[in-house]
């Protein structure tokens, strides 16, 4: 592992028993408040996707809204939000999915993506993968040319990467 990735991993705050007992929460907000970590994240993600022809970065509510616009700006791409129901003001399409404790739904504006777009879906963390899988299915309904998926950090033991098919390139900057 290079020095930059080591710095990122060391900078992530680990919060035991959050949001419920038995869960070790990886708090990436500590990366965002450190200027050097923010630069490393921005540079690393830019290098990963600069030659992929990305036209839109899609951020997942809410921590995907932090690095998503930074990356979109660097890639000269637009930025689109995927949100929980009732948050987007214009006509939406949605995708529901199962969570450990019930159902949830994500929505995107109906006119946010078209068949000429190359999409980079971004969120902060891959755990079980349910939210991003639903977001990916939602984006695919809009028939873009290609979909890439990116996370800052992947929790390897939860095997979330296995949810995605071969048609989607999924990468994380860090794995723990």
Q: How far apart are CA 99 and CA 105, in angstroms?
A: 10
* Active-site residue (options: 91, 100, 115, 157): 100
Q: How far apart are CA 77 and CA 79, in angstroms?
A: 7
Q: What pTM value is reported for the model?
A: 0.95
* Active-site residue (options: 63, 137, 154, 157): 63
Which domains does the chain possess? 53-175 (3.40.50.2020)
DSSP 96: E
* Active site (annotated) includes residue 100: yes
pLDDT number for residue 150: 97
* H or E segment to which residue 169 belongs: strand 169-175
* Active site (annotated) includes residue 63: yes
Contacting residues for 81 by C-beta, under 8 A, at least 6 apart: 58, 59, 61, 65, 88, 108
* Maximum CA extent, the chain: 45
10-residue block means of pLDDT along the chain (176 residues)? 90 95 93 96 97 98 96 98 96 91 92 98 94 96 98 94 92 95
């Amino acid at each position: 592992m290079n020095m930059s990735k080591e710095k990122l991993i060391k900078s992530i705050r680990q919060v035991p028993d959050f949001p419920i007992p038995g869960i070790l929460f990886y708090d990436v907000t500590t990366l965002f408040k450190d200027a050097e970590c923010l630069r490393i994240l921005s540079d690393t993600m830019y290098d990963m996707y600069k030659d992929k022809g990305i036209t839109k970065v899609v951020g997942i509510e809410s921590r995907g809204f932090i690095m998503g616009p930074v990356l979109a700006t660097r890639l000269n791409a637009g930025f689109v939000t995927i949100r929980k129901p009732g948050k987007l003001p214009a006509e939406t399409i949605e995708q529901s999915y199962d969570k450990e404790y019930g159902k949830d739904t994500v929505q995107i504006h109906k006119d946010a993506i078209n068949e000429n777009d190359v999409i980079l879906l971004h969120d902060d963390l891959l755990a079980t993968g349910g939210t991003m899988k639903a977001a990916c299915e939602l984006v695919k309904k809009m028939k873009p040319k290609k979909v890439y998926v990116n996370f800052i950090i992947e929790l390897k033991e939860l095997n979330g990467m296995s949810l995605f098919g071969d048609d989607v390139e999924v990468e994380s900057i860090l794995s723990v």
